[in-house]
Structure 1
Amino acid sequence: MPLDLDITGIVEAPRHIERVFLRSSLLTAAALDAATGCHVLAKSELANPIGCFKGRGADLFCATALAAEESVVCASAGNFGQGLAYAANRRGHACTVFASEQANPVKIEAMRRLGADVRLAGADFDAAKAAARDHALHTGQRWVEDGAEPAIADGAGTIALELLDAASFDSIVVPLGNGALLDGIGRVVRALAPHVHVIAVVAVNAPAMKLSLEAGQAIVTARADTIADGIAVRVPIPATLARLRDCCDDVVAVSDDDLFAAMQLIHRTLGVVVEPAGAAGIAAILATPKRYAGQRVATILTGANIAPVLRQRLLSPPLAFSR
């Protein structure tokens, strides 16, 4: 089934989304280009009230898809939960977020600070998701599934509108979790710049989305053990897979070592701290530099909400060894 290239909802989305989430910075650096062998255009979704791109889709969803005072429940590794908590609180909706018992404490604290009723359940995101869905069934709260709601993908798609308005590029490399980001960006690029190659990125240790898109059906994995909690999907959403496959030309996988090396390079050259999922695009470029050599390559720094242990590892000076 061909991709529906109707991007009307994306084009109209900015008038509903709070300005603090829009017109994010486009970062470049000669040192980053030298290290990657291509000209990198990094869309930085870090300098907003929740430190990630999720506010765009969450705010659009709350503005256009909810009845007055309708309460919501979702599952989140932390960033979408922050976005939904921020938007729901601002617009008068109660918000419950289920997160894994192993979730990043920085994200848990942030969701609570933003007004969410945060409940910890299960060993990973998908276990928390099952608990959240069950909670919605028994309480009547509106179940909000990141990756399945059209408004959330439309909000994410505004990133691509801004990118195409600011620069031209040959490829765009997109972190792939449950798929809202790829859905929105892929539709815009297919409609407005069909010559651009769209590459989705997963973690080697969380390959469910790659396996599923390649197989054409949902492939559930037993585990999703990666430092990149934002793309640590174990159970794909079956209904979205055909659409997501049409949104990209390829799906690649990067290791945790690739992700951390990308985080270090981003910090050294662009001067910003990103969480592992936010470095996935740069990690993919570093892993296969010949693929992008000499190109203009766009990517999205999707979030800055790094776990304390990783932050310390990233920012600690290298050890000096004496002879």
Structure 2
Amino acid sequence: MTRLDLARIRAARRMIDPAFLDTPLYRCEGLETDLGCAVSIKLETANPVRSFKARGTEVVTSLLAGNHSPAVVCASAGNLGQALAWSGRGRGLDVTVVASRLAPAVKLDRIRALDARLELVDGDIEAARERAAAIARQDGIRLVEDSLDLETCEGAGTIGLELVDTVSSFDAVLIALGGGAMATGVGQVLKACAPEVEVICVQPLGAPAMTRSWHQRRVVTTDSIDTIADGVAGRRPIPAVLDDLLVVADDAVLVKEASIIAGMRILLDRAGLVVEPSAALGVAAILEDRDRFAGRHVVTIVCGSNVDMDAYHRWVGVTPDHRP
């Protein structure tokens, strides 16, 4: 058993703005020569905030607005903050986002542009979480905790509903693993509706806490992170989320930074997609273990495209004269 509920995931669809639902899902033949398997892309960047996170924040803010709550706060590496700002603005909520000063500037600028109050802290996402919790206590407002709050997981789980309703058959789904909201939400749906599909979580080698925790079946923390995939770079897994992940995930793997960059380059060259590093984790996993996926039909969830373009060009080797 997990904390998640399939009926609530189905109900969540009714709370989410249609702009975030039924995102493109298609077989991408251009990837198949490089990867050696059939690959379908679930494109969670084709929405107003360029990531899957709004599926969860739409549920959170819909319930808060129904309860006449005036304000909400979260900690974010960037994407959750944008999503909460977008969803809260549409429902008349005052939104505060706490982020690290080290977060990509493009993500911070978009949070500000969506009328949220942005507070920056020294340190990483864990420091931002501590500050957001302090603000919630001080002001008596709702703290949105990504992955711990079921709304964030079950909102993300609507991606799973769209997978099983759209793809006639597939063998595995590759899911970027950070805090665990998307992995547990999608995994819950697949285990209920398509149990034959292998649910594989992918995390950077430089931010391995949740993957190590999954393999050891206990919370394992790390002292630091070292990855370009800022969207999944946590150090302290949440015990309740790990418990859910142990039920719904079939495997959790770590990939190298070079493979993440190669995945971003392949998605640009073969699929015409500019993505942030976290969104290339699924492709990176295939690149590192081609034999495992050979001859199979794999779905990879392209989960975000909020990327600093100067950094992107450095990573993928695109020169200023040849930018996409």
TM-score class, shorter: over 0.9
Q: TM-score, normalised by structure 2?
A: 0.95
SS at match of 2:42: strand
Q: Which amino acid aligns with 2:221?
A: V
Residues 140, 6 of structure 1: alpha-carbon distance in 2 compared, 3 angstrom cutoff: closer
Q: What's the counterpart of residue 41 of structure 2?
A: 42
C-alpha contact 2:3 2:150 (8 A) present in aligned 1: no
Q: CA RMSD in A?
A: 1.7
For the 8 Å contact 2:170–2:297, the answer to whether it is kept is: yes
- State the alpha-carbon separation in 2 of the partners of residues 87 and 275 from structure 1: 22
Alpha-carbon distance between aligned partners in 2 of 1:123 and 1:5, rounded to the nearest angstrom:
32
Asked if the contact 2:136/2:142 (under 8 Å) is kept, the reply is yes
- How has the CA–CA distance of structure 1 residues 25 and 204 changed in structure 2, closer, same or farther, with 3 Å as cutoff? same
Q: Which residue of 2 aligns with 1:118?
A: 118
1:135 aligns with 2:135: yes
Q: Matched residue pairs, number? A: 319
**TM-aligned CA distance change 1:171 to 1:55, over 3 Å:** same
Which residue identity lines up with residue 10 of structure 2 in the other structure? Answer: V
1:282–1:299: 8 Å Cα contact kept in structure 2?
yes
Shift of 1:266: 0.5
- 8 Å contact kept, 2:9–2:155: yes
CA contact 2:263–2:284 (8 Å) conserved in 1: yes
Note the 1:17-28 alignment, pairs <5 A: 17-28=16-27
Paired AA for residue 249 in structure 2 = C
Contact 1:5/1:190, CA 8 A, preserved across alignment? no
Normalised by the length of structure 1, the TM-score is 0.95
Q: Which residue of 2 aligns with 1:74?
A: 74
Contact 1:70–1:142 under 8 Å retained in 2: no
- Report the equivalent of 1:211: 212
Helix, strand or coil: the match of 1:73?
strand
- Per the alignment, residue 61 of structure 1 pairs with 60
1:175-186 pair list within 5 angstroms: 175-186=176-187
Residue 251 of structure 2 is matched in structure 1 by 250
Question: How far off its partner does 1:49 sit?
Answer: 0.7
How many angstroms does 1:224 deviate by?
1.2
Letter in 2 for 1:139: D
SS of residue paired to 2:195: coil
Does the CA-based 8 Å contact 2:187-2:249 persist in structure 1? yes
Asked if the contact 2:225–2:235 (Cα under 8 Å) also holds between the matched residues in 1, the reply is: yes
d(CA) in 2 for partners of 1:103, 1:6: 33
CA distance in 2, matches of 1:43, 1:309: 26
Amino acid at match of 1:238: P
Q: Does 1:316 align with 2:315?
A: no
Alignment of 1:237 with 2:238, yes or no, is yes
Q: What is aligned with 2:261?
A: 260
Query: Within 1, Cα distance between the matches of 2:4 and 2:149?
Result: 17
Match of 1:151 in 2: 151
One-letter identity of the residue aligned with 1:114: L
Shift in Å, 1:32: 0.2
Structure 1: gaps (5+ residues):
none
Residue 134 (structure 1) shift: 1.5
Structure 1 residue 83: deviation in Å?
Answer: 0.6
Q: How far apart are residue 308 of structure 1 and its match?
A: 3.0
Partner of 1:289: 290
Letter in 2 for 1:80: L
CA 1:196 to 1:138, structure 2 compared with 1: closer, same or farther past 3 Å?
A: same
